[in-house]
Structure 1
Amino acid sequence: MSHVLPTILLVDDDAPTRYLMQRALRRLQVRAQVLEAEDGAQALAAVQAHCRASDQPSSLLVLLDLNMPVMDGLEFLEHQVHLPQICRQVTAVIVVTGTPDPKEQARARALAVDLVPKPLGPDGVAELLRRYLPVALSA
């Protein structure tokens, strides 16, 4: 029986940040497809493609930066709530931000599942996976 792997989408315009998260995921030996996006527009396209790929899309964990060019994290969150119900059911968006702006944080909290501070080290990544995508950690 083939089991569809969950997907983790790393959304950050900073390539070194994406690299460090990829490295943490490799160390954790996650069983998941890992995708990257440099801005909210790429991320939204990736989420839409993920949801269109199957009648029963696999779980999707989005680790989202707020401050990005083209479309920022808040804009992504505002668009994401308009995706089809099946897509929203399998998608958990975690905002990973260094933004100290309380207004932005409050808006992000209202639209995302969780908000965690940057930088997110291997322990932080492991904790998020245990909480929101435990199937990616199972052997």
Structure 2
Amino acid sequence: MELNSLFLLIEDNLIDQLVTKQLLKKVFSIEQVSIANNGKEGIQWLNNNKRINSQPLIILLDIQMPIMNGFEFLDEFHKLSKDAKKGVQIYVLSSTLDPDEIKLIEENEYVTDFLNKPFPIEELKTKFLW
């Protein structure tokens, strides 16, 4: 299965970064996965990598990170231009069991879906088809 999308993984855990990149490469034949170690780097990546509107962007977003967490990233993402947000799908990857956090994730207008860690590759196969 091959996807014609850009991927941005916003994740501070190096092991999760490596595992996610390898799974995306193996299952979806994705060669290039950009990495941001926190939400601040994720926003900087979006500002520095203006993309062609026809190419979708999938963001895999962790919640618990230093410097700028996933919720703070979503707040900053909201401030971006409509063009910058066009064609972006955000999947929150988290191991949180906190019902308040889950509610915030599910109610956020920019979050496409909430997925539990570890990385649910079989579930993503059905979600990444458009």
How far apart in 2 are the matches of 1:108 and 1:29? Answer: 26
Q: Which runs of 5+ in 1 are unaligned?
A: 135-139
More divergent stretch after superposition (93-102 vs 119-128): 119-128
Q: Aligned residues, how many? A: 125
Pair 1:104 & 2:101 matched: yes
Q: Taking structure 2 as the reference length, what is the TM-score of the superposition? A: 0.85
> Could you report, residue by residue, the CA deviation over 1:88-136 in whole angstroms, capped at 9, with x for unpaired residues?
1211111010011111111122221111111114323433422xxx5xx
Cα distance change on mapping 1:32 and 1:89 into 2, 3 Å: farther
Residue of structure 2 in register with 1:25 after alignment: 24
| Structural RMSD (CA) | 1.8
Q: Decide which structure has greater helix share.
A: 1
Pair 1:64 & 2:68 matched: no
CA contact (8 A) 1:21 1:122 kept: no
CA contact (8 A) 1:21 1:121 kept: no
Residue of structure 2 in register with 1:73 after alignment: 70
In the TM superposition, structure 1's runs of 4+ consecutive aligned residues that sit over 6 Å from their partners are none
Which secondary structure does the structure 1 equivalent of 2:49 belong to?
A: helix
More divergent stretch after superposition (84-93 vs 26-35): 26-35
Which secondary structure does the structure 2 equivalent of 1:58 belong to?
A: coil
Structure ranking higher on relative contact order (CA contacts 8 Å, 6+ apart): 1
CA contact (8 A) 1:8 1:32 kept: no
Q: Which runs of 5+ in 2 are unaligned?
A: none
